Chains A and B, each alone.
Chain A
């Protein structure tokens, strides 16, 4: 195996904040919608005990706090490596995954960014090969410049071998 000249690369550290805020907002919206609906049922219908919406909100807060703490460990587990032959993605805290995608097999790459990504100045790169319905790999939390450089690097290799 040819060793990578660059070695494993980490994501931008700001992605931790992006994941934490995303988790807080996501769980907050869920708690508001489901908890609010159940609270309304309790107050209007009267059959549902008040502790049920309370428990739902408590579980949402717990999940949000766990996600908040988990973001840092997810970041630490995430690396990608561009070798002369392959793109290697490694991620997962408990369920660990190491995926090798041969550079010659890459069909195209997408760069996308949602509202949270844009707020924190990061983008996500999705890698596609032939014959699959979705992306075979997604690298989140890259600066737009790094994402462009990665795309140019991987596609230049493909064009050179076409």
Chain B
């Protein structure tokens, strides 16, 4: 007997209508404010009506045409009106089922189920939206394929393996580098508006009695310094706030070989990942967190995650004490643990290649401006010495930073894992179970051949962040490593 056909929740119309409306708002505003007003009093109503029609028709069509069935082997989805589509997904191919609720979903008591397979980036299918009350049962039905169990996932389920408190999240936000992007934006805006105003204030300072006593150079420095301090403070506050909002109530549970992660203040997310699908684990230690004894743990599985905050990886822990990392590692990948020693270094000549790679662009870009500057300048000697000083400073700085970079790299094979560590500012350690390696590649550039070096690239089935590069190791060791890893990959049959 075939499984019954099911529909999405009626709130699909509202959710889809608002989703469709969002990209139309900006063009509508442009039409209303920049396009001129034709005669008549009902211009806004006409634009509004047209937009509503553009947004509501596909929303209704989505609800009316979308049907899905789940039997004991497949999820089948039929959709479309003009272009009809039928998609069949074997349950055993489903890698993850993610549950997502934003504020609107919570008001309407509905949720989005994103279903991911190993077929590439993004969701293979999305049930948007279903009733809150049906979510657990649907996830359990879909999980029947991925974990061989069918109990519903509930908050009364297994006790959490890891929970993040608000204080921990605030520490995570305060110690990672999320603020930098915002600071640069603020400085960019500041360059346009604030610095000009500060310049004007300094010029007019002699009209204000108490400012007139301060030398203009000092006043300018104080105002710029104050602005930069405020920008850094704002960036820091943003970093803390975004960490708390995105990971509020972070809860990691594990049962029957399946990891479940729940998090989020405004948009709540739940990700379900079978352990055997994990392709790679990454322990990340930003410099400040490292000094305070904290780390972050991310996983990449065979499907792409809807997790933009973590660069496409699933955060298993947004922040964790370093001494607890081994427990979490062995829970996610049995047998995995951090080794303090036994790391093999890069080959001799690695520093030269890193250094050359970092300066050749700047050399190419600086030769032309330096030449032009010298020709145009009245004081050739002075301009050449300034340009040479800047260039020389960059070359020396680059030499030092690349020495740190070379020292930070290390690799080892132990306990059935290929491990790579890298980064001196943000230290990353990647764990790849050798039985989950898909391809192993040895690359040699002309520069590497001259120095007897090679790069080894290992790929897994994780579409996002599932590839690791081991650069500039001795070529004989690289060949040995490639053959050993390829043999392991061929012998064992880890999960995909």
Interfacial residues, chain A to chain B (CB-CB below 8 A): 1, 85-86, 88, 92, 94-105, 129-133, 136-137, 161
Contacts and interface: CB of A to CB of B under 8 A. Distances in A.
B413 to A, nearest CB: 16
B273 to A, nearest CB: 14
Nearest to B303: A131
Secondary structure at chain B's binding surface: helix, strand, loop or mixed?
A: mixed
Q: Classify chain B's interface size.
A: 20 to 34
The residue in A97, A99, A161 that gathers the most chain B C-beta atoms within 10 A of its C-beta is A99
A128 to B, nearest CB: 10
B356 to A, nearest CB: 16
B446 A85 contact: no
Contact of B486 (A94, A102, A131): A102
25 contacts: A1-B483, A1-B486, A85-B486, A85-B491, A86-B486, A96-B444, A99-B439, A99-B441, A100-B441, A100-B483, A104-B493, A105-B439, A129-B461, A130-B118, A131-B118, A131-B120, A131-B279, A131-B302, A131-B461, A131-B462, A131-B463, A131-B496, A132-B438, A133-B463, A136-B439
A105 B444 contact: no
A100 B463 CA distance: 18
Contacts of B493: 104, 161
Closest 9 CB pairs of A and B: A131-B461, A85-B490, A100-B486, A102-B490, A102-B489, A99-B441, A98-B442, A130-B461, A96-B444
Contacts of B462: 131
A98 B439 CA distance: 10
Contact of B443 (A95, A130, A132): A95
A1 B482 CA distance: 11
Nearest to B440: A100
Main secondary structure of the interface of A (DSSP, over half): mixed
A41 B302 CA distance: 53
Interface of B: 118, 120-121, 279, 302-303, 437-446, 449, 459-463, 466, 482-483, 485-487, 489-491, 493, 496
A105 B485 CA distance: 13
Contacts of A92: 444
Contact of A86 (B446, B460, B463, B490): B490
B439 A129 contact: yes
Contacts of A103: 490
B440 A99 contact: yes
A99 B483 CA distance: 10
B302 A130 contact: yes
A86 B493 CA distance: 13
B486 to A, nearest CB: 4
Contacts of B496: 105, 130-131
Contacts of A137: 439
A131 B483 contact: no
A131 B444 contact: no
A88 B461 CA distance: 18
A105 B445 CA distance: 27
A100 B449 contact: no
A126 to B, nearest CB: 14
A97 B446 contact: no
* A92, A95, A105, A133 pick with most chain B CB within 10 angstroms: A105
Contacts of A88: 486
Nearest to B479: A98
Contact of B459 (A1, A86, A132): A132
Nearest to A2: B487
A133 B486 contact: no
A97 B466 contact: no
A132 B485 CA distance: 19
B342 to A, nearest CB: 24
Contacts of B302: 130-131
B438 A105 contact: yes
B379 to A, nearest CB: 35
Nearest to A105: B438
A97 B490 contact: no
A80 to B, nearest CB: 14
Given A130-B496, A131-B461, A133-B121, A98 B482 contact: yes
Contact of B441 (A97, A130, A133): A97
A93 B279 CA distance: 33
Contacts of B460: 131
A130 B383 CA distance: 57
